Amino acid sequence: MSGFADYPKLDATSLADAIVSKRTSASAVVEAALARIAALDPRLSAFHTVLGDAARARARSLDEALAKGEPTGRLHGVPFALKSNMCVEGVETNCGSKILAGYRPPYTAPFVQRLLDEGAVLVGMTHMDEFAMGSSGENSAYAAARNPWDLARTPGGSSSGSCAAVAARFVPFSLGSDTGGSVRQPAALAGIVGFKPTYGRITRYGLVAFGSSLDQVSPFTRSSRDMELVMSVISGADEHDSTCLDLAPLEPERSDSVRGLRLGVPKEYFASGLDADVRREVEAAIGKLVELGATTVPIELPHTEYAIPTYYVVATAEASSNLARYDGIRYGPRKPGDGSLQGMIAATREAGFGPEVKRRILLGTYVLSSGYYDAWYVRALKVRRLIRNDFDRAFESVDLVVCPTSPTAAFKIGEKADDPVAMYLSDVMTVPTSLAGLPAVSVPCGFVSLEGKRLPVGLQIIGPSLADARVLRAARVFESATKHQAAIYSLEGAGA
Amino acid sequence: MSPTTSAPAIGVVSKKTGVRWIPVIGLEVHCQLKTETKLFCSCRYEFGASPNTLTCPVCTAQPGALPVLNREALALAVRVAGALGADVAARTKFDRKNYFYCDLPKGYQISQYDQPFCTGGGVTLASGKRVRLVRIHLEEDAGKAIHDRGDMTLVDLNRAGVPLIESVTHADMQTSDEAYEYLTALKEILQYVGASDCDMEKGSLRCDVNVSVHPEGEGWRTKVELKNLNSFKNVKDAIEHEIERQIEAYESGDKSKFPVQETRLYDATTQTTRTMRSKEDAHDYRYFPEPDLVPFHLDPAFVEKQRSMLPELPAARRARYQSQFGLSAYDAGVLTSSRALADFFETTVKLSGNPKESANWIANGVLANLSDPAITAKSVDELPFRAHDLAELIELVANQTIHNNVGRTVLRGMFESGKSPRQIVKEQGLEQVSDEGQLESWCREALVGKDKVIADVKAGKTKAVAALMGPVMKASKGSANPQKVQEILLRIIQTEL
C-alpha cells in the first residue's frame, strides 16, 4: 500500500477536507485508492476498467490548482467509481454486455460532469449485471463482483461492482443505478449506504436505459452525510431529460433529530419469506429510532404482493424497446448472420445478449404485443397506480416508512443463478418503492451470522415523493446513534 | 365513415359489364416541418448535406441519450391545425412505434398513437366538396438507407429526427383528380403557414394512398395501400391504375384474383403496382407510451397565440383579389399559388397603387421570366429585385416615361442585372424621347424616299403613316414617344411636303 495511509478509514467528506486543508494531497489519495484496488480487486472483481493514468494526471492538476490557491470543489481530489452503464466520453461503457464490448460514448453524462466539476476523480468503471438485469452480478458477461464480507457471496446487484468498490473501501463513493432495487439491495448486503432518490431528482441523460420509467442514478456511500453531499452535487434540473424534475439540487436538512417523526411499519414487509435474523435486526433498528424520539404506526400496503409481477411487466416492456437500438449497425460488435439486414441484426443480438437479457426482451415483447397489451401492460400500469396509492394513503398518517431492504442477508454466488423467479424475489422489498417513484435509502443496521461469517443487514427508510432530504436525515440520525457504520470488514485479513 | 357526397356522375362505368364502380380514396400525407432544429435534439437539418454530419448522440441513438421536445415544432404543428380547421387536443402524448430497420437508429420511432395532438379539420375543394381529416400527429423522421452502392447498404442519419406531421384523411375522395386537388391545396396551406416546403423531390412531402372500389349502391370493399409515390402526378397515375386493376380483378369473377388487404409499391416507369407486403406480414408495432417524454398539456393561450399568427390562407386571398382588385378568378389563382408570390403581388400593389397592372406584370412578365431556363432565379424568393423595383417599372410605363414594350426589355434587364428600372432606362437610353427637335430629325430621315406613303397621306389616308413608325422607332432604339412621332410625321407631310 502506498499513498495516504488513512485512506480506507475516511469518508468522502473527510477526504476532501484532508486534501483541501493540505494534510494530504489528491495525488496521495488517488495513489492510495489505486494501490488498494491493485492489491485487492483481483479477489473482488469490482472493476472492469481502472483509469490509473487518467486519475493520476487529474489528481496532479487538482493539486496544482490547490497550490495556486484556485477555488476548490466540494469533492476536491475524492476518488469515485461508476457503474458501467454510465457515459463518460471516451471511456468504455459496456453495460456488462458483450453487445457493447469496446463501446466508448462520444459524450459525458451531466451527473458525472457535476461530480467532476466539484473536483471528484474518476478511477474506474465497475462490473454489473448485463444491462442492470439481475440481483447478484452474475448476469455480467465479464465478471461477477464479490462481497467483501464473504468472497463466496454476492454483493447484490445489479450495481455489484460499484457496491463492492465502496464496501471494500476502494473508493469512498460510487454511482449505481436503481431500477427495482439495484442499489438499495446491494447496499444492504454489503453494509454500506445506498439511496434511490425520488424519480426525476437526477437526470437520466447518460445513464443507459433499462426501464425508463423506473431507472434512477443512485449513489453508494459509506456515510449518510456523504450521501447528502453527493446528492446535493448530482441532483437538480437538467434540460437534456424531460423526466428530470425542474428542482434545485437537494439541500440536506439541518436537523439532527428524528424526534416526533411518525414511522409507518408495513405488516406486508414482515411476513413469511423474511429471514428471522434479518427481522430481528431490523426490528431492533426500528426500536433504536423510537428510542431516539420517533414513534411507530402499523400500516398496510395491501398491493405489495403484486409488485414483483407488475414490475416484471413494466420494466421488461420498456427494456424490450430500449434495447432495440443494439443492432450492430452503429456501434458494438456485429455478426453478419445470413447477410441480410434482418439476419445481421438477429445474429448480432443472438451473440451479444446473455440469457437473462433475452428472457426479459421476450417477456417485454410479449406483453406489448397486439392482443396481449391490454391484459398485461395496461393492467400492470393500473396495478402500479394502486401500489402508488397504497403509499400515498400511508403517508397521510406517517412521515416515513421503515422496513427491511432485503428479505435475507447476502446469498452465495450460484445459489439462485438457475432460478430466475427466486432471484426476482430478492427484490421484493425494493420494487414497490421503485414502482411508486419514491425516495428510499438502505442504511446498515446490524449483522447476522451465517456459516461463521458476519453478514450485514440493511434498514430501508422510505419517504413520500420529494422528501429525499427527510429520508437522508433519518438515515444520518440513525447512523450517528449506532456503531454499525464503524464496522469495517478487514478484507486484508480475509482468508477467502 | 361514408362519402360526404355522391354526385350522380361519379364512378367508373365498366365497358364490359356496364356496372358503375365507385372508387373510395383516402390519403396519408407526411410533411417535414421547417424548424431550425430536429424534433428531439438540437441538430439542424438541410437536404443534401454531407451524410451523417448533422447528427448528435440523440439522433444517432447513442446509449443513454434522451429526447427533448422541440417547442418550435409543436408551435408550427398547432398553426397547421389552425389552418386546417382542426381541433387541438388539450392533452397529448408521444408513443413508441417499435420495428427494426437500418435507418431507424433507436429501433423505434417516436410517434403518436391514440392521442394525436389534433383531430378533425379538412380541406374544401373547388367543387365545394370537403375532404375531412381524421387526425394529424407529430412524429420523427427516419434516416435514409442508400442501397445502390454495390453490395453495401449505407445509412445516412442526417434526416433521423426531423419533425414530421402526418395527416390522415377520411376516405372522402372518389377520383384521382380530387386526390390531386386535395394534395395541391394541402401543400399550398402548409407552405402559406410556413410549416413545410412540401417538396416531394426533396422528400419533404410524402404521400401514401388507400384505394378500394365497389359497385354503386353496395358497401365498401377491401382497401389497398399504395406507396412509393414520388410526385403528385405519380399519385394521380397510381390511383387511376389501381382503380382499373381492382375493377378488372373483380370483373374477372375469379375470387383468387380479388384485391386483398395489402401494401403495393408503385413503379413510375411501368406505371404499375406490385405487392410489397400482405396483411399477414404486417408489423406488430407494439405501440406504448414513450416513457422518456411526459404527456403534455397544450395551454389554450399558446394554441390561441399560434392561431393568431396564421396568415390569410390561399382560398381567402383568391376571393379577396377578385372582389377587392377586380382580378379574374384565373389571375387570382395564379397569384396565390404560393404565399411568397401573393405577398410580392400585394407589396407591389401597395407601392404602385395599381392592382391590375401589378397583376399583369407579375402573372405575365415575372412568371414568364422565372420559367425561362436562361434566367437564374427560379422562384419569387430568388428574385434579384424587390417589389419596390417592379412598382417603379409599372410607374415608368404608366407615366409614359417608357413604352410598354420597352418595359418588357427593362424587366428582362432587372432579372439579368438586378439593377433598378430607372438605372436600366438611363444606362440604355430607353427613356421615351419627346424632344421635338430630336423626334423631327428622326422623322425627316424616315421620310426620305417614301413618296408613296407621302402621297397616300396627302390623299387623306392618314393611317398609311404607320409604315413610317417602324423606321423611326428603330432609329430611336424604341425610345421615341410613338404618339408624338405620329403627330410630327403628319404635320411635316401635310404642311411641308
Chain A CB contacts of B66 under 8 Å are: 204-205, 240-243
- Measure in Å the smallest separation between the Cα of A21 and chain B Cα atoms: 38
The pLDDT-based confidence of B3 (bands split at 50, 70, 90) is very low
Domain holding A162, by residue range, is 7-254
- From residue A390, give the alpha-carbon distance in Å to each of A39, A215, A306, A436, B369: 48, 21, 12, 9, 74
- In the three-class reduction of DSSP (H, G, I as helix; E, B as strand; rest coil), residue A217 is classed as strand
Give A433's DSSP letter. H
Calpha distance B335→A412 (Å, rounded): 81
DSSP state of A288: H
User: Could you tell me if B183 and B92 lie in one domain?
Assistant: yes
Which residues, 6 or more positions from B378, have their beta carbon under 8 angstroms from its beta carbon?
B370
Compare CB distances from A208 to B64, B67, B100 and report the shortest one's residue.
B64
- Judge if A136 and A267 occupy the same domain: no
Are residues B449 and B475 located together in one domain of the fold? yes
Q: Which pLDDT score is estimated for B433? A: 75
B5: pLDDT strictly greater than 60: no
Yes or no, beta carbons of A324 and B69 under 8 Å apart: no
| A321 strand-pairing partners | none
What are the φ and ψ backbone dihedral angles of B88, each rounded to 5 degrees?
A: -90, 130
Q: What share of chain B is helix, strand, coil (3-state, %, to 5)?
A: 40, 20, 40
Determine the pLDDT at residue A289: 98
Annotated active-site residue A160? The verdict is no
Query: Domain check: are B103 and B189 in the same one?
Result: yes
Rounded to whole angstroms, how far apart are CA atoms B108 and B287?
9
pLDDT confidence tier of residue A305, bands split at 50, 70 and 90: very high
Q: Where are the alpha helices (DSSP H) in A7-145?
A: 12-20, 26-44, 52-67, 110-117
Residue ending a domain, among A254, A284, A300, is A254
Confidence (pLDDT) at A2: 66
CATH of the domain at B453: 1.10.10.410
- The pLDDT score that the predictor gives to residue A494 is 44
Q: How long is chain A?
A: 496
Q: pLDDT tens-digit profile of B95-112?
A: 999 999 999 999 999 999
Instruction: Give the pLDDT mean for A293-299.
Output: 98
- Residues A156 and A278 reside in one and the same domain: no
Residue B401 covered by a domain: yes
CA B319, B325, B328 angle in degrees (round to 5)? Answer: 65
Cα dihedral angle (B475, B477, B483, B489), rounded to 10 degrees?
A: 0
Q: Are residues A279 and A136 in the same domain?
A: no
Mean pLDDT score of chain B: 91
pLDDT in tens, B325-368: 999 999 999 999 888 899 999 999 999 999 999 999 999 999 99
Inter-chain touch A329–B102, beta carbons under 8 Å: yes
Total domains, chain B: 3
Give the Å distances, CA to CA, from B119 to B115, B135, B253, B306: 9, 4, 40, 17
As a whole number of angstroms, the distance between CA A486 and CA A482 comes to 9
B138 in Cβ contact with B77 (< 8 Å): yes
- For residue B63, list chain A residues with Cβ-Cβ distance below 8 A: 85, 87, 93, 95, 100, 103, 105, 208-209, 325
Decide if B62 and A331 are in contact by the 8 Å CB cutoff: yes
Tell me, what's the ipTM?
0.96
**Which of B286, B290, B294, B297 should one mutate to test binding to chain A, selecting the residue with the greatest count of A CBs within 10 A?**
B286
Shortest CA gap B156–chain A (Å): 11
pLDDT of residue B406: 85
For residue B106, list chain A residues with Cβ-Cβ distance below 8 A.
324-325
Q: Is residue A488 part of a domain?
A: no
> Phi and psi (nearest 5°) for A124?
175, 175
Q: Which residues of A fall within a CB distance of 8 Å from B288?
A: 317, 321, 368, 373, 377
Q: Is residue B6 part of a domain?
A: no
Q: Could you tell me which of A262, A266, A263, A265 has the C-alpha nearest to residue A301?
A: A266
- What pLDDT sits at residue B20? 95
Specify the amino acid at residue A49: T
**Distances from the Cα of A102 to the Cα of A140, A161, A165, A267, A418, angstroms:** 15, 18, 22, 47, 29
Any B CB within 8 A of A240 CB: yes
A487 assigned to some structural domain? no
> Would you state the pLDDT for residue B163?
98
Choosing from B283, B304, B325, the residue where a domain stops is B304
For B446-484, b/e burial (b = at least 16 CB within 10 A) is bbeebeebbebbeeeeeebbeebeebbbeebebbbbbeb
Phi, psi of A285 (to 5 degrees): -65, -40
Amino acid at B367: L
| B217 and B193 inside one domain | yes
Please tell me which of the candidates A207, A325, A342 has its beta carbon nearest to residue B61: A325
Instruction: Tell me the nearest-neighbour CA distance from B209 into chain A, angstroms.
Output: 25
The A residues from 383 to 442 touching B (CB cutoff 8 Å) are none
Residue A217, CB-side half-sphere exposure with 13 Å CA sphere:
34
Rounded mean pLDDT, B438-448: 86
CA–CA separation, A33 vs B201, rounded Å? 61
* Residues B39, B163 contacting (CB under 8 angstroms): yes
Residues B359, B316 within the same domain: yes
Q: Evaluate if residue B248 carries a pLDDT over 80.
A: yes
Same domain for A408 and A269: yes
pLDDT mean over A40-56: 97
In B, what residues contact A, Cβ < 8 A?
57, 60-69, 96, 98, 100-102, 105-108, 153, 155, 284, 286-288, 291-294
B63-96 pLDDT, tens digit each = 999 999 999 999 999 999 999 999 999 999 999 9
Note if A158 is an active site residue.
yes
The CA-based dihedral angle spanning residues B7, B190, B97, A436, taken in that order and rounded to the nearest 10 degrees: -120
Q: How do residues A77-134 score in pLDDT, each as one tens digit?
A: 999 999 999 999 999 999 999 999 999 999 999 999 999 999 999 999 999 999 999 9
Residues of A in contact with B61 (CB under 8 A): 325, 330
Residue A20 lies in a domain: yes
User: Domain check: are B118 and B223 in the same one?
Assistant: yes
From start to end of B179-310, where are the E strands? 205-215, 224-229, 262-267, 272-278, 288-289, 296-297
Determine the residue type at B119: T
CB-CB: which of A208, A242, A365 is closest to B68? A242
Residue numbers of the domain that contains B390:
312-427
pLDDT value for B486:
86
Residue A220 · residue A10 · CB < 8 Å: no
Q: What is the pLDDT of residues A217-245, one digit of tens each?
A: 999 999 999 999 999 999 999 999 999 99
Domain count, chain A: 2
Q: Is pLDDT at B4 greater than 60 in this prediction?
A: no
For the stretch A141-177, pLDDT in tens is: 999 999 999 999 999 999 999 999 999 999 999 999 9
Confidence class of residue A495 from pLDDT cuts 50, 70 and 90? Answer: very low
pLDDT exceeds 70 at position A187: yes
- State the Cα–Cα distance between residues A412 and A181, nearest whole angstrom: 18
**Averaged pLDDT score across all residues of chain A:** 95
Give the nearest chain B residue to A86 (CA atoms).
B64
The 3-class secondary structure across B50-86, one letter per residue, is CCCCCCCCCCCCCCCCCCCCCHHHHHHHHHHHHHCCC
Candidates A199, A325, A372, A385: best to mutate against B (most CBs of B within 10 A) is A325
Active site residue A27: no
Write the CATH number for A396.
Answer: 3.90.1300.10
The pLDDT of residue A413 is above 60: yes
Q: How far, in Å, CA of B447 to CA of B467, rounded?
A: 10
